[in-house]
Structure 1
Amino acid sequence: MLELAPGVSQLADFPRNQINVYVVENILVDAGTLAARGRVLRQVTGRDLQANLITHGHPDHFGSSRAVCTRLGIPLWAGVADREAIETAIPATGEGRLARLMGKFPLAPGHPVTRVLHEGDEVAGFTVLEVPGHSPGHIALWREWDAVLLCGDVFFNIRRPSQPPGFLTWKPDVNRQSMRRLADLRPRLVLFGHGKPERYGPLERMPI
């Protein structure tokens, strides 16, 4: 596990930075795919985790949540508008045939969400931001004092920060608004669902 900021660590994975999972104080943020459950559990077993928070209802982020929550006896938290997608394992997707097929064949088991999160909620020193678009109930975590942002999939950072793929995104135009909102915060450290962390100077703004 790699510490990136005070109280914020990234779990090891392979390939590195492909599908990211974080620990923020005593909260596991996202859980990777179903296939990642062993890797995630090995790294967090023995830590005093309070909950597994999911940034959005896509199976590459809640895939291991049932295994992790069951093994560790912790609750699952998520944005209010993604609760159903996580519990039924049927995500909201974009347009097109491939997107429709993905919605018909669950890629991970669902799991009950015991706390729904709303704009302004406080979690482990971070503020919950509702940033829909990639999914209806997507949330991000923002810590103002050191400008650390966990943005989930509002941005992908495969080569550079950019819009996530359209066929995976529920409402691309709404997601663009969320991208602008997060960029306007001028974060100093951005942690993505996919891609390596990015650091910015005090006068820099995330590209959108």
Structure 2
Amino acid sequence: MKRRLLLTAGSGVLGVTVLNTMSGCTRTPAKKEEQANPNAVTGDWQRVNLDFVSVYLLVRGGEVAVVDTGTPGSAASVEDGLRAAGLGWSAVKHVILTHQHQDHAGGLAEMVPLTAATLYAGEADVTAIGDPGGGRGLRAVKDGDEVFGLRIIGTPGHTPGHVSIFEPATGVLVTGDALRNQNGLEGSAPQYTADETQAAQSVRKMAALDVRAILPGHGEPLTTGARDALRKLAASL
């Protein structure tokens, strides 16, 4: 933009007018800010909220690990979660089930034809979950195994083969039903727990980890004060 002065005189008064002229320049419209993914929880983790239960997505480098599959009929909601991350089923390379119950494993059969992902579950729950179809079986995992940079934590009690998923680099712990956060942080719901003694031991085991965020199957993710809340719970059992 150039400015030009126009001088005028009359009745002994000198007037100055500033004229703005455009010289080959155009205004570039401000770039719209990208909308944040509403499913984002912490770090690379995203939540697909199915009302009373959650599926979690770890999106890293265009590759996705899905933890739990929700109830039968949940595939469309998980697909919406993938789309919100700018991805689709082809990006899903790992599906990890925390345990055998239908609100966590019920959506698996529906998702198998949609993805070529490797399927994982705790070894003591594999038989109860059964064959997901598609010519692929479940790969049994146990305490200390690693999938996509995630450590498998054996947390039996809720079911015999229940596992939780820990990301050491960030301190994120995905707990299935070993922990819930509907009325403050609690352990496995007694009425749905196969072995309450084992379940309590699993809580104490998780409390020894360097936990910075807890993503439970039921209730809200706990992203602040997670370590203290978990240690307090463990000490009360």
* Band the TM-score falls in, shorter-chain normalisation: 0.7 to 0.9
CA distance in 1, matches of 2:106, 2:228: 35
Instruction: In structure 2, give the amino acid aligned to 1:71.
Output: L
For structure 2, the residue ranges without an aligned partner over 5 or more in a row are 1-37
Equivalent residue for 2:97, pick from 44, 54, 58 = 54
2:82 corresponds to 1:44? yes
How far apart in 2 are the matches of 1:202 and 1:130? 19
Structure number with higher strand proportion = 2
- Structure 1 residue 2, shift from structure 2 partner: 1.6
1:118-129 alignment, distance < 5 Å: 118-129=142-153
SS in 2 for 1:170: coil
In structure 2, C-alpha distance between the alignment counterparts of 1:129 and 1:118, rounded to whole Å = 7
Question: 1:2–1:203: structure 2 CA closer, same or farther, 3 Å change rule?
Answer: closer
Residue equivalent to 1:9: 46
Residue 80 of structure 1 pairs with residue 123 of structure 2: yes
| Separation (CA, whole Å) in 2 of partners of 1:175 and 1:203 | 18
Higher-helix-fraction structure: 1
Query: SS of the counterpart of 2:46?
Result: strand
Partner of 1:20: 54
Q: Are 1:71 and 2:114 an aligned pair? A: yes
Name the SS for the 2:130 alignment partner. helix
In the alignment, residue 190 of structure 2 is paired with which amino acid?
A: G
Contact kept in structure 1, 2:99 and 2:176, CA below 8 Å? yes
Give the counterpart letter for 1:182 in structure 2: M
CA RMSD of aligned residues (A): 2.1
Larger Rg: 2
Bigger relative contact order, structure 1 or 2, given CA contacts below 8 A and separation 6+?
1
TM-score by length of 1: 0.80
Q: State the shift of 1:195 in Å.
A: 0.6
Q: How many residues align?
A: 184
Indicate the residue corresponding to 1:35 in structure 2: 73
Superposed displacement of residue 166, structure 1: 1.8
